[in-house]
Amino acid sequence: MFTLFFGAVNLAGAQNKKWTTEISKIRNTEVKSLISDQPGPGGEVVQTIEYIAIAEVEANFESCIKVMKNTALHKKIFDYTAKTEMLEKESESEWYNYYYTDMPWPLPNSDSVTRFLFSNDGQTATFVSTASPNKIGRKDVKRILLYNTDYIFTKLDNGKIKITLKSKFQPVSSLPTWMANLWFPDGPARMIDRIISLSKNEG
């Protein structure tokens, strides 16, 4: 789940850094990315990876919402995800998910716990995912401490849906910059493409 190498975007925290803008051929997705060193939850300065991905697509609004609410489908959306599980459902608008990421060698495996908040006004549906690393006990892998992502679905006047992913993440160990850069711009674009493909079965 390479997106677990990322997580809501904070432009102010890196406003002095240079963002890279690219266009993926996958659904003509615009992807802005930034790799920088920023303070982590413990105060130490660590590698931080951020991105914003935007695509205007032909998709069913309600079906996309169903996909995002189905935790079991998330391992089909995110790269290298071996396990997804809903840990606790507080309400229809709040729940906690667990993810286990089985990364290819030599990258370490990791896990994460995220809190999802959902809102929908009929025009825009937003899923705000924030790391909750202390929700359950640690397992035999390092836990991601900062992994925040917003998933935003907006109806457009032309009948299409605008999908926006805003993510900020601090990996459990630093990646070579060239390796992290290889994921852009197609990595986030693939996530959007998978959500759309899965939504066709949720109509």
Residue 12 has pLDDT above 50, yes or no: no
User: Cα–Cα distance between 3 and 20 in angstroms, integer?
Assistant: 18
Output the six-digit token pair for 80. 């290298």
**Closest listed residue to residue 144, CA positions, set 48, 9, 34, 15:** 48
What pTM, to 2 d.p., does this model score?
0.90
- C-beta neighbour count of 180 within 10 angstroms: 19
Q: Which domains does the chain have, with CATH numbers?
A: 2-199 (3.30.530.20)
Cα-based distances in Å from 122 to 61, 65, 68, 126: 9, 11, 16, 11
In terms of C-beta density within 10 A (0-12 exposed, 13-18 middle, 19 or more buried), how is residue 85 classed? middle
Q: Looking at residue 106, what is its pLDDT?
A: 82
Encode pLDDT of 87-137 as tens digits: 999 999 999 999 999 988 888 999 999 999 999 999 999 999 999 999 999
User: What value does the mean pLDDT of the chain take?
Assistant: 91
Maximum separation of any 2 CA atoms in the chain, in Å: 49
SS3 assignment, position 151: strand
**Cross-strand pairs, 22:** 31
The pLDDT tens digits of the residues spanning 35-89 come to 999 999 888 999 999 999 999 999 999 999 999 999 999 999 999 999 999 999 9
CA distance 99 to 27: 27
Q: 144 CB contacts (<8 Å, ≥6 apart)?
A: 4, 7, 110, 111, 112, 131, 133, 169, 170, 171, 172
